Amino acid sequence: MFERIKKAFLRDPKERGESLPSQASTHGPVSEWAASRGMSFSSGTLGSTVTMQGKVGGRSWKMELGRPSRDYIGGEELRARAELGAFDDVGAMIINRPLKETLERRAYSMITDTLQTTADPRLPEEMRWLAMYDEIGWDGPPPAFWTRYAVLSDKREHALAWVDDHLVGQLMGWPEPAPLPTVPFMIVLLRGKCYLRMQYLPAETTTLDHATDVFISACESALGAFKK
């Protein structure tokens, strides 16, 4: 059965993320915060979007706050992407356990459905990553970290090199009001890029601020560990 799941998700279907209507949010404080951090504030046909661009280690990165591109995220989604170009052969992810379990249940349901013969092309790519990567654990991070998050990677040494003590501390140090452990969250290293995706909850500038710092730290750690 496990081999069937791996084969289904190792296919490369076109990704078509599903969106949910955004919840109402107060973008006035967000726009002020964006200006304080050098962000631009834009509004389009799909609703308001906050965009920040910057550099880490001389590499460009971009963060957006707007309508969700995944059906497991309600309200607004915070997403970021950095073109690090330093570790093309590294694959790793940090994901909160409730989201991991939700995606695994969805994958199992899809594969075991007698009417389902092929992988649904609308399923997010991260479901295939769960089939491709092994969960990695080690001594060092506190038990509370492993209760809240799972670390998966193509190689154990990649996970240990990327998830350093500083990044662990930031992932556990969300300021109040802090996101609950059930709020969807993930950071991914793949094909020389770093991605962040999370639900913007609580919808506070402290969430934006800390998520930005976590993402930058993840990029810096990756560049330090895997720089060519």
pLDDT at 6: 47
What's the burial of 162, exposed, middle or buried (CB within 10 Å: 0-12/13-18/19+)?
buried
Region 56-71 average pLDDT: 89
Domain ranges of the chain: 2-226
Distance between CA atoms of residues 197 and 211, nearest Å: 10
- What distance in Å separates the CA atoms of residue 149 and residue 92, rounded to the nearest whole number? 13
Residues 200 and 46: their CA atoms lie apart, in Å, by: 17
Residue 41's pLDDT band, with cuts at 50, 70 and 90, is low
CA 140 to chain centre: 23
- 51 — pLDDT class (breaks 50, 70, 90): confident
Reported as a single tens digit per residue, the pLDDT across 82-129 is 999 867 889 999 999 999 999 988 877 776 665 554 555 556 788 888
The more confident residue out of 136 and 6 is 136
Average pLDDT over the chain, rounded to whole? 82
Q: Could you read off the pLDDT of 11-24 as tens digits, one per residue? A: 443 333 333 334 33
Lowest mean pLDDT among 127-136, 158-167, 189-198: 127-136
Predicted structure pTM score? 0.81
Residue 202: asked if its preceding bond is cis (omega within 30°), the reply is: yes
The pLDDT assigned to 194 comes to 96
> Looking at per-residue confidence, does 70 or 1 come out higher?
70
* List of residues 6+ apart from 141 with CB closer than 8 A: 163, 165, 168
pLDDT at 7 over 70: no
Instruction: Enter the DSSP assignment of 136.
Output: E
Give per-residue pLDDT as tens, 139-187.
Answer: 999 999 999 999 999 999 999 999 999 999 999 999 999 999 999 999 9
> What sign does the CA torsion over 171, 174, 179, 180 have?
positive
SS3 content of the chain, % helix, strand, coil (to 5): 35, 25, 40
